[in-house]
Structure 1
Amino acid sequence: MLGLSLFSLSTVQAASYWPIAIVQLLLLVVVSQYLKNVGMPLLSYNSDKGIHISWYPLFTYFPLLVVTLFTWILCLVLTAADLLPEGNAARTDISNGLIADSPWFIIPYPGQWGMPTVSLGSVMGMIASVIASIIESIGDYDACAKLCRVGSPPYHAVNRGIGVEGLGCVLAGIFGTSSGTASYTSNIALISITKVGCRRMVLWSGGIMLVVGVLAKLCAVFATIPEPVLGANLMFLFALITGIGLSTLRTINLNSSRNQFVLGFSIFMGLAVPDWLTRHPGVIQTGSATIDQGIMALLQTNMFVSGFLGFLLDNTLSGTLEERGLMHWNYFLQAHQTKCVSSTTKESPEDICYNLPFGMDAIKRWRWTKYMPFLPTYQGLRRTRKVADVTTINKMEAKL
């Protein structure tokens, strides 16, 4: 739903100058899909062969970067040759003043935009936004796991992810940023393009962004990327996001008329209701501005509307567990429970990837950690029910 709901954002940016946007989009499709297995000759060196030419799969790992740099340089050449009219969105000199006026360094600090204020209306609106963001993040976690070819995130991983996002939002509010911190679906699409899902890479990327965020001049340089190039990138990424979302339906029976109705109705209403409310912002009037703001925040969120209707219909319309795809999910849920209960079961690489990077020996040794919902040894507060054996679970995972 996120990919479908954001099509208007990408088309508005791409429409600022369609020729450049079309070139960028076509190159992205060709490079990332048709040329992904083509190697590029690069000079390499090792002690055995010395200086030699090796074939590096550049288009496999960096298709978005390569195409964006090419189109950016193309816009720079067209601007230098004055082949683009003044004020055209594809020109690279539109933001020259931004680069000149930006300081070299900016150090953020709490309260730099004034003391924070709190109102009931803003709190209600943020609560609605946070609920919608949690729903979106859970879907992001599962989609990322599918791309990395690991099992679905267990309870503790989801809880830990949501908690860290909440901590990020608190820090964002303290430092006065204009938005909260949450998982971003476009990054999942980048994993699909680059085939890189290493957590260490994510940590290094975060460190680089912290450094770049302080260098205001460098940030201003990135602001010179033409708007149609960004629009084409968004169109490509949102298309991948939509495909990733549809892949989660593989466990249900799509030949069932029941499932077809639930899927089609929830997707259509998830697009129609927020779009109509955006065009008619004052239509909800309960007599309380706070309640109006909260309701509008929820109903203008495509993920919430579609997810709520899908949840309601799927749980009220009759259907078998296999038809609804719940048989597979039951095995996944029981898998984590089985491996937590059995002390003799050896951890698989899929389980290890959801562990903490440090302190796991102590966490496994302490008994109280099984009651902490964000630790890998979490078993829940309820009595453990009888679960499927590990062999059966592995067979079901192999089928998927």
Structure 2
Amino acid sequence: MGSRRAIELGAVILILLSFVGKIGGFIASIPDVMVAGLLCCMWAMIAALGLSNLRYSETGSSRNNIIIGLSLFLSLSVPAYFQQYGLIPSSNSSVPSYFQPYVVASHGPIHTSSRGVNYVLNTLFSFHMVIAFIVAFILDNTVPGSRQERGVYVWSEPEAAKREPAITKDYGLPFRIGRMFTWVKWVGL
């Protein structure tokens, strides 16, 4: 599905259906196996769409390969380290995986004098996406590379960006709202 209109319409329909109790009961009755299958497809699509943002960069560059590899590796290993603190050996109750970051928040490896800072840092470092973002952001902005290698050459000239159909399709605002924001550098008409 590539149309933003379909996503917007689907979001409006889901918001309206959330007010109907029978619909909520039906959704709650969906078996966990089916929900897991849908989540696998959804997360695979999100990962593929995230990696498709790299289409303007040089994918054969060792700089880019190292940044992508390190961010993916650390996003899998660092949260695993933090989440091992969520396993409380004295407790016999198992915690569902989606609550794991919040259990880590109170028992995580970061201990400062402020409980609030401990809670925030332990929670953030137990999320895969946060680690991937932090590592990729830091490495992309500190490891030297040309504009061509980083893929930012496409956005260097507004006229060149407006001629690129993929940019106008990906970054255009819905329902011609872009006309109200012509002062923004990358919003096309």
TM-score above 0.5, yes or no: yes
Query: Counterpart of 1:257?
Result: 62
What's the C-alpha RMSD, in Å, of the aligned pairs?
A: 3.1
SS in 1 for 2:181: coil
Counterpart AA for 2:148: E
Q: Cα distance, 1:209 vs. partner?
A: 2.8
Quote the residue 1:354 is aligned against: 173
What is the percent sequence identity of the aligned residues? 26
Distance 1:244 1:379 in 2: 24
- Specify whether residues 286 and 218 from structure 1 end up closer, same or farther in structure 2 by C-alpha distance, changes over 3 A only: same
Tell me the distance in 1 between the aligned counterparts of 2:184 and 2:9.
32
Aligned to 2:53: 248
Whole-angstrom CA distance in 2 between matches of 1:275 and 1:289:
22
Q: Deviations over 1:239-260 (max 9, x none)?
A: 2222222211122222222221
Corresponding residue pairs, total: 160
How far apart in 2 are the matches of 1:305 and 1:225?
32
User: Structure 2 CA distance, aligned partners of 1:241 and 1:234?
Assistant: 10
Partner of 1:289: 115
1:306 equivalenced with 2:146 (yes/no): no
| Counterpart residue identity of residue 154, structure 2 | H
| 1:254 counterpart SS class | coil
Aligned residue runs from structure 1 range 197-216, under 5 A:
197-199=3-5, 201-202=6-7, 204-216=9-21
Q: Which has the larger displacement, 289-298 or 209-218?
A: 209-218
Normalized per residue, the structure richer in helix is 2
Kept after mapping to 2: 8 A contact 1:355/1:376: no
CA contact (8 A) 2:109 2:122 kept: no
Query: Matches of residues 19-58 of structure 1 in structure 2 within 5 Å?
Result: none
Provide structure 1 residue ranges, at least 5 long, that are not aligned to the other structure.
1-190, 340-348, 365-374, 381-400
Tell me by how many angstroms 1:350 deviates: 5.1
Question: Which has the higher Rg, Structure 1 or Structure 2?
Answer: 1
Q: TM-score, normalised by structure 1?
A: 0.35
Tell me if structure 2 keeps the 8 A contact 1:298–1:304.
Answer: yes
User: Which of 67, 73, 76 is residue 268 of structure 1 equivalent to?
Assistant: 73
Secondary structure at the aligned position of 1:209 is classed as helix
What is the deviation of 1:198? Answer: 4.9
Corresponding residue for residue 239 of structure 1: 44
Residues 204 and 303 of structure 1: CA distance in aligned 2, closer, same or farther (over 3 Å): closer
Structure 1 segments (4+ residues) deviating >3 Å = 201-208, 335-339, 355-358
Distance change in 2, residues 1:273/1:378 (3 Å): same
Structure 2 residue runs of 5 or longer lacking an equivalent are: 86-103
Paired letter, 1:244: L
The answer for the alignment partner of 2:151 in structure 1 is 325
Displacement of 1:336 in angstroms is: 9.1
